[in-house]
């Protein structure tokens, strides 16, 4: 009963005219972020964070969350029409999406991906509604040892499962932790690594680093690869097709795919470090293995498009569970969302739902509305997005640099932070080129203070003994789950494409 | 080049660890002090870099994967740095227009009208958004604008 009352309260908050406006703006921006190749949701969120400073906290977070999950919708449009995923979580959608478009079925493919994204996203939000309060209740028993282990679990899984080289992932994470130690030590008040600089006393701000690594770094890398020289002439012209809407058999054949993709995506999304990319690729592998016609996969099987789409949207919803209930982000995008929460004075964790119910339930309710809005946007605003896809990268690139720089400056009016963003951009370029993980660096920078505080508290409680992690049942559970996922990790990695 | 990058990180890690050992391991109350975590991180970073270097040396390098359009990437990075440097000198709006003109004529040559339109309209739009709507405060530069 409480559940419905809370959801009703959330809806009444989400449905205020200003919040609806922010939600629609976030959905639209997220779609655009998803469409631009080499520009993921982490970059979009980090760059647009300063834009939300003039808003009230609920409206700001509703808009940022909408950008986050809308980018999953947007990335698929280019996967289907251009054979170029707008972002990594939509790579699997190119496997059958583009062949469908080449066969003259771009319209049905676009509509089915919108429906699959809507179903995956909505199932994900329903599961958040049901499970988030339970997670929060469970997490009330968590102490410093469990928080330290959870932070480590997120880092470890991100390093092991995402990207090709775990050794470079570990280095990236350790650099993030090292940057997180700059500033005043909270327990003793002693300055660390500030070298007399007043600007460093408050520590290294997360926003310039994230904007630099994800915004500028990705952009320099894309230019280095020659993305500005590529032409968009090979867009499939879906206007000339006779049939825009899918046939009944498309829905009938993929109904179980939708269910499997949504449930799998949510479960993978909840695991810190796993995320939407792995969920979509796993879903593709599963659909191919359970299909009666596996030979059709890669040649235009609707299930090969629908499964990954449902999975990546459900995963992006699932990733909100550890963020909201434990305060532990499982990916770079949710790390930016965590930073946004903290910026607004909201501390995600077990107490969020009881201490700030308007905020927590307002956000969850807005996700229901956001998915409905995105379904409509995805079907009826396709021409607008196709027009945006045609905007050449050589014009987009300077515009992105402009927004990154001015956005960073506007956070604190600090030219030092703007230089920091620039340096992070150069560093991010090399990280990207050599296979390091900017996402692990950013996640470690966000989690660093929390992890250090939790570890020091844990060792104070245990008088310096690490055995405390094995003596507490909850800690043992977390260690067990981490070990189990690490054992499964090689299988998950195998689901990722080689190139 | 990848080896050079890892070596640079290793050098920074050595410096970081040196300063970490300057910090006290225990606080005055006998609890773990401000130097504990940085020491763990620093030593871990040194060990990881050495291991990555050893693996890299054994694999024989990645020079073939490092071929790309260096010229355009370096020029764009230099322009971005120049843009940051000009922010406090020319002021936000003028610096944005100057940067956009330079970047667009470099990346999108031959389209004068298109470049001029984008280079003026986009900065004005961003200026209005941040300065007036978000009240975020764009740098005014040495000669502030009359608006």
Model confidence pLDDT, tens digit, residues A323-380: 888 887 877 788 888 888 887 777 787 778 778 888 888 888 999 999 999 898 888 8
| Alpha carbon distance A316, A69 (integer Å) | 6
Best residue in B130, B139, B140 to probe A by mutation, most A CBs within 10 Å? Answer: B130
Confidence of residue A493 (pLDDT cuts 50, 70, 90): low
Contact B92 A456 (CB under 8 A): no
What integer pLDDT is reported at residue A237 of this predicted model?
A: 59
The string of pLDDT tens digits covering residues A222-250 is 888 887 776 654 556 565 556 778 888 88
Contact A212, A428 (CB under 8 A): yes
Confidence of residue A161 (pLDDT cuts 50, 70, 90): low
B52 and B75 fall within a common domain: no
> Domain map of chain A by residue range?
2-148+208-417
Number of domains comprising chain B: 2
The string of pLDDT tens digits covering residues A397-435 is 899 899 889 888 887 888 888 999 999 999 999 998 888
- Nearest chain B CA: its distance from A437 CA (Å): 13
What integer pLDDT is reported at residue A271 of this predicted model?
A: 80
| Alpha carbon distance A267, A339 (integer Å) | 24
Average pLDDT, chain A: 84
Mean pLDDT of A199-204: 85
DSSP 8-state secondary structure symbol assigned to residue B126: H
Nearest to A455 among B37, B38, B48 (CB): B37
What integer pLDDT is reported at residue B8 of this predicted model?
A: 95
| Alpha carbon distance A134, A478 (integer Å) | 16
User: How many CB atoms sit inside 10 A of residue A247's CB?
Assistant: 12
In B, minimum Cα distance to A185 occurs at B34
B138 occurs within a structural domain: no
Q: Which of B50, B66, B82 is the last residue of a domain?
A: B66
B46 and B83 fall within a common domain: no
10-residue mean pLDDT series, chain B (147 residues): 91 95 83 88 95 87 70 93 91 92 91 91 88 76 65
B117 and B89 fall within a common domain: yes
Q: What percent of chain A has pLDDT over 90?
A: 15
| Alpha carbon distance A228, B111 (integer Å) | 15
Residue A296, φ and ψ in degrees, nearest 5: -75, -15
ipTM field: 0.90
B78 occurs within a structural domain: yes
B51 and B85 fall within a common domain: no
| Alpha carbon distance A325, A347 (integer Å) | 10
Q: What is the 3-state secondary structure (H, E, C) of chain A?
A: CHHHHHHHHHHHHHCCHHHHHHHHHHHHHHHHHHHCCCCCHHHHHHHHHHHHHHCCHHHHHHHHHHHHHHHHHHHHHHHHHHCCCCCHHHHHHHHHHHHHHHHHHHHHHHHHHHHHHHHHHHHHHHHHHHHHHHHHHHHCCCCHHHHHHHHHHHHHHHHHHCCCCHHHHHHHHHHHHHHHCCEECCCCCCEECCCCCHHHCCCCCHHHHHHHHHHHHHHHHHHHHCHHHCCCCCCCCHHHCCCCCCCHHHHHHCHHHHHHHHHHHHHHHHCCCCHHHHHHHHHHHHHHHHCCCHHHCCCCCHHHHHHHHHHHHHHHHHCHHHHHHHCCCCCHHHHHHHHHHHHCCCCCCCCHHHHCHHHHHHHHHHHHHHHHHHHHHHHHCHHHHHHHHCCCHHHHHHHHHHHHHHHHHHHHCCHHHHHHHHHHHHHHHHHHHHCCCHHHHHHHHHHHHHHHHHHHHHHHHCCCCCCHHHHCHHHHHHHHHHHHHHHHHHHHHHCCCCC
Q: pLDDT at residue A497 above 60?
A: no
The string of pLDDT tens digits covering residues A37-74 is 667 788 888 888 877 877 888 888 889 889 988 888 88
Nearest to B68 among A190, A225, A405 (CB): A225
DSSP 8-state secondary structure symbol assigned to residue B30: S
Spell out which residues of chain B touch residue A422, defining contact as CB-CB under 8 Å: 80-81, 84
What integer pLDDT is reported at residue A234 of this predicted model?
A: 58
B23 occurs within a structural domain: yes
B61 and B43 fall within a common domain: yes
- Nearest chain A CA: its distance from B143 CA (Å): 17
For chain B, say whether A25 makes contact (Cβ under 8 Å): no
Contact A232, A35 (CB under 8 A): no
The string of pLDDT tens digits covering residues A73-131 is 887 888 888 777 777 778 888 888 888 888 888 888 888 999 999 999 999 999 988 88
Confidence of residue A274 (pLDDT cuts 50, 70, 90): low
B111 and B60 fall within a common domain: no
Q: What percent of chain A has pLDDT over 70?
A: 93
- Nearest chain B CA: its distance from A435 CA (Å): 9
For chain B, say whether A296 makes contact (Cβ under 8 Å): no
B6 and B59 fall within a common domain: yes
Q: What angle do CA A352, A353, A357 make, to 5 degrees?
A: 105
Task: For residue B35, give its domain range.
Answer: 2-66
Confidence of residue A499 (pLDDT cuts 50, 70, 90): very low
B59 occurs within a structural domain: yes
What integer pLDDT is reported at residue B7 of this predicted model?
A: 94
B84 and B111 fall within a common domain: yes
Q: Which of B15, B36, B66 is the last residue of a domain?
A: B66
B49 and B101 fall within a common domain: no
Confidence of residue A492 (pLDDT cuts 50, 70, 90): low
What integer pLDDT is reported at residue B6 of this predicted model?
A: 93
């Amino acid at each position: 009963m409480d559940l419905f009352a809370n959801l009703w309260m959330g809806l009444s908050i989400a449905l205020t005219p200003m919040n609806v406006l922010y939600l629609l703006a976030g959905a639209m921006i997220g779609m655009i972020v998803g469409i631009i190749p080499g520009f993921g949701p982490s970059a979009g969120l980090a760059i647009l964070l300063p834009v939300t400073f003039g808003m009230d906290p609920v409206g700001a977070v509703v808009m940022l969350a909408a950008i986050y999950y809308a980018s999953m919708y947007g990335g698929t449009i280019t996967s289907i029409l251009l054979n170029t995923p707008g972002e990594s979580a939509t790579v699997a959608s190119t496997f059958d999406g583009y062949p469908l478009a080449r066969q003259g079925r771009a319209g049905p493919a676009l509509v089915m991906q919108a429906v699959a994204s809507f179903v995956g996203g909505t199932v994900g939000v329903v599961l958040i509604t049901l499970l988030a309060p339970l997670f929060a209740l469970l997490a009330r028993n968590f102490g410093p040892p469990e928080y330290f282990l959870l932070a480590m679990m997120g880092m470890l899984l991100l390093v092991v499962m995402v990207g090709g080289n775990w050794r470079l992932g570990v280095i990236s994470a350790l650099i993030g932790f090292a940057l997180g130690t700059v500033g005043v030590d909270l327990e003793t008040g002693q300055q660390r690594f500030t070298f007399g600089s007043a600007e460093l006393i408050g520590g290294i701000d997360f926003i310039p680093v994230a904007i630099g690594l994800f915004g500028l770094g990705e952009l320099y890398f894309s230019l280095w690869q020659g993305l500005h020289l590529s032409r968009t002439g090979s867009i499939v012209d879906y206007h000339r097709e006779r049939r825009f809407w899918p046939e009944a058999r498309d829905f009938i054949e993929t109904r179980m795919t939708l269910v499997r993709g949504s449930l799998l995506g949510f479960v993978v999304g909840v695991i810190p470090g796993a995320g939407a990319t792995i969920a979509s690729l796993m879903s593709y592998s599963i659909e191919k293995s359970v299909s009666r016609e596996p030979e059709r996969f890669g040649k235009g099987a609707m299930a090969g498009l629908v499964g990954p789409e449902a999975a990546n949207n459900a995963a992006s919803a699932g990733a909100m569970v550890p963020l909201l209930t434990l305060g532990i982000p499982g990916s770079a995008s949710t790390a930016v969302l965590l930073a946004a929460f903290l910026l607004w004075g909201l501390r995600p964790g077990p107490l969020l739902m009881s201490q700030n119910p308007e905020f927590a339930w307002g956000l969850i309710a807005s996700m229901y509305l956001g998915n409905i809005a995105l379904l409509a946007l995805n079907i009826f605003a396709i021409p607008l997005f196709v027009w945006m896809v045609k905007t050449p990268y050589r014009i987009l690139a300077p515009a992105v640099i402009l927004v990154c720089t001015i956005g960073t400056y506007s956070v604190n009016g600090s030219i030092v932070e703007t230089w920091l963003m620039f340096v992070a951009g150069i560093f991010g370029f090399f990280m990207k080129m050599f296979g390091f993980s900017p996402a692990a660096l950013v996640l470690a920078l966000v989690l660093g203070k929390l992890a250090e505080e939790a570890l020091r508290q844990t060792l104070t409680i245990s008088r310096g003994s690490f055995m405390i992690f094995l003596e507490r049942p909850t800690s043992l559970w977390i260690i067990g789950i981490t070990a189990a996922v690490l054992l499964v990790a090689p299988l998950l990695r195998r689901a990722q494409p080689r190139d | 080049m990848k080896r050079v990058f890892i070596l640079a990180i290793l050098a920074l890690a050595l410096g970081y660890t040196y300063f970490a050992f300057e910090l006290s391991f225990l606080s005055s109350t006998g609890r773990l002090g401000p130097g504990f975590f940085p020491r763990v991180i620093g030593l871990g970073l040194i060990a990881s870099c050495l291991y990555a270097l050893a693996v890299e040396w054994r694999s024989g390098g990645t020079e073939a994967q490092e071929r790309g359009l260096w010229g355009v990437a370096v020029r764009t990075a230099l322009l971005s740095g120049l843009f940051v440097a000009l922010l406090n000198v020319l002021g936000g709006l003028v610096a944005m227009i100057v940067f956009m003109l330079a970047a667009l004529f470099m990346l999108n040559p031959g389209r004068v009208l298109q470049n001029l339109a984008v280079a003026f309209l986009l900065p004005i739009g961003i200026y209005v958004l941040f300065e007036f709507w978000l009240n975020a405060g764009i740098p005014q530069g040495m000669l502030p604008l009359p608006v």
